Structure 1
Amino acid sequence: MAYDRLNSLEAQPTSWRRNDDPQYQDDPEFTRFTENLSSQLFTLTSNISNLSKQIALLGTKRDTDRVRERVHDLLEETRSGFKDAGDSVKKVQTWEDVNPSQKWTQQKLSSEFRAALEEFQTVQRRALEKQRASAAASRHALDDGSGQPAEAEGQLQLQQQELEQPRLANQDEVDFQESLIIERESEIRNIEQSVGELNELFRDVAHIVHEQGGQLDIISENVENVTTDTRGANVELRSASRYQKNARNKMCCLLVILAVILTIIVLAVVLG
């Protein structure tokens, strides 16, 4: 898989890169854009962590209106943040004239975005389950409260008047609970819609990453080929150096032999 090879590519020796080669020079605009996107992803990850803690309080004794408000705000903020980050990721993927280093950055940001979005979808589903359970419990309690038997027909008028005031108070409570249930059901619909929208975004980015996987494989193959060629050239240079050294040794031996022969000839002529 291309994702598994990303770390191995980053670990490859970079000595073969030339800093003065335009192919590996940085693009300041690309660098700024990807750094901003990386900062966005960090913020989203922090939001998800805080959101998870708040969702854990739903349905417990610490469940308050303030907690539900924070859950709602974090869901909306994070949801909007992922839509913006998704547009940025798509822009990064379509950046023109990227070099191998920038391709790695593209792949890294895409992987981080997908991981964060997947985690947020999990947290959203947990919030959805909590909201559904809370709404169902409230609806059940409301139905039970409204299903009380009517007063017996033979009760005295005085008893009916005494019960009239509590009934009005109970009706106010029923209306209030009904409004809370409607609000929670509306929040449930919003979360369900968000899950669907972000699923589409997840698939779009996954498609982009899949397409880039082939490009990353090509980069990996090129890196491996360069490494292999470099090692092969090193071996050939060592062999050539060894052959050259042997040739020099042979030449020295021949020169010594020739010198000895010439010395013998000269001595023979002189003594003769």
Structure 2
Amino acid sequence: MSFDRLNSLEAQPTTYRRSDDPQYHDDPEFQRLTESLSDQIFTLTSNVTRLSDQVALLGTKRDTERVRERVHNLLEETRNGFREVGEKTKKVQNWEDVNPSQKWAQQKLTTEFQATLKEFQTVQRRALEKQRASAAAARTAVEEAEHPTEGGVQLEQQQLLEEQPRLANQHEVDFQEALIIERETEIRNIEQSVGELNELFRDVAHIVHEQGGQLDLISENVDRVHDDTQGASVELRGASRYQKNARNKACCLLVILAVILAIIILAAVLG
């Protein structure tokens, strides 16, 4: 390739295809996985928002069994969703031979996953605190119903003299005990989930940290190649200039030789 051709190639603009171009499908399986993962993270984000709204009702006048049921179902659904998404996120992070656009997708999905998981952990802890407070209050109420205080005994005796006795219903006590057991079970489930998801968060963060070191090495290599390429380009331009100068000098010499030759021929003819 001549230096003139090289210069013309250097002057041409370089074009790139965007990663979101419909024609850009270098790894369909990776694309399907990341698109599915993005949709699931969006669903989890919506669940966390709904869960936060329901948890805010616990312990208030709007606290009902229906609210607690929704909280329980959302917790279970979201926990399972995070476990599934966590495994897919680790799979995406461990994908081999990724190009720059895929690396960007890895980082984006991991950041979104970590942010959503962190928010869910916060909501879980808030639900755990309210469940503990509710269970403790219910336990206290049951204990007071089973073992009334001295003032309560005197009041009850006075009421027995004035009206029909109003004794604690054993069935109601049993029902409250069952509710307390159910809430304590839910508390244990939440505590276990917090630990499991914390472990998942650490696993993903560890993978990201390891890849961060690899990215630093890649970045250093890219910078080094860039510097070497610039140096080579400067040398090529210099060589091109030298070649042009050499051609110009050669042309000048040929002209001088032609003039001298013409003079000699003229001198020979005239002589």
State TM-score, norm by structure 2: 0.74
Residue 104 of structure 1 deviates from its aligned partner by 5.0
Task: Assess, with a 3 A threshold, how the Cα gap between structure 1 residues 268 and 208 changes in structure 2: closer, same or farther.
Answer: same
Residue 25 of structure 1 deviates from its aligned partner by 7.5
Residue 41 of structure 1 deviates from its aligned partner by 1.9
Task: Assess, with a 3 A threshold, how the Cα gap between structure 1 residues 160 and 190 changes in structure 2: closer, same or farther.
Answer: farther
- Give unmatched runs, 5+ long, in structure 2: 1-13, 18-23
Q: Distance in 1 between matches of 2:107 and 2:216?
A: 12
2:212 — aligned with what?
Answer: 213
Aligned-pair identity in percent equals 70
Does residue 238 (structure 1) correspond to residue 223 (structure 2)? The answer is no
Q: What secondary structure sits across from 1:120 in the alignment?
A: helix
Task: Assess, with a 3 A threshold, how the Cα gap between structure 1 residues 246 and 87 changes in structure 2: closer, same or farther.
Answer: same
2:52 — aligned with what?
Answer: 52
Structure 2 letter corresponding to 1:185? E
1:112 — aligned with what?
Answer: 112
Residue 52 of structure 1 deviates from its aligned partner by 1.9
Q: How many residues align?
A: 249
Map Cα deviations across residues 47-73 of structure 1 (whole Å, 9 max, x no partner).
122222222232333333332222211
Bigger relative contact order (CA 8 A; separation at least 6): 1
1:135 and 1:184 in contact (8 A); partners too: yes
1:131 — aligned with what?
Answer: 131
Q: Distance in 2 between matches of 1:186 and 1:100?
A: 47
Structure 2 letter corresponding to 1:56? A
Does residue 185 (structure 1) correspond to residue 220 (structure 2)? The answer is no
Residue 191 of structure 1 deviates from its aligned partner by 0.6
Task: Assess, with a 3 A threshold, how the Cα gap between structure 1 residues 47 and 267 changes in structure 2: closer, same or farther.
Answer: same
1:167 — aligned with what?
Answer: 167
Q: Distance in 1 between matches of 2:148 and 2:258?
A: 127
Structure 2 letter corresponding to 1:63? D
- Give unmatched runs, 5+ long, in structure 1: 1-13, 18-23
Q: What secondary structure sits across from 2:163 in the alignment?
A: helix
Task: Assess, with a 3 A threshold, how the Cα gap between structure 1 residues 79 and 241 changes in structure 2: closer, same or farther.
Answer: same
Task: Assess, with a 3 A threshold, how the Cα gap between structure 1 residues 229 and 46 changes in structure 2: closer, same or farther.
Answer: farther
Map Cα deviations across residues 165-213 of structure 1 (whole Å, 9 max, x no partner).
x2245x5555444443333222211111111111222222233333333
Does residue 43 (structure 1) correspond to residue 43 (structure 2)? The answer is yes
1:107 and 1:212 in contact (8 A); partners too: no
Shift >6 Å, 4+ stretches: 14-17
2:202 — aligned with what?
Answer: 203
Residue 76 of structure 1 deviates from its aligned partner by 0.6
Q: Distance in 2 between matches of 1:252 and 1:62?
A: 98
Measured on the aligned residues, the alpha-carbon RMSD in Å equals: 3.5
Q: Distance in 2 between matches of 1:137 and 1:217?
A: 54
Q: Distance in 2 between matches of 1:161 and 1:173?
A: 24
Q: Distance in 2 between matches of 1:223 and 1:182?
A: 61
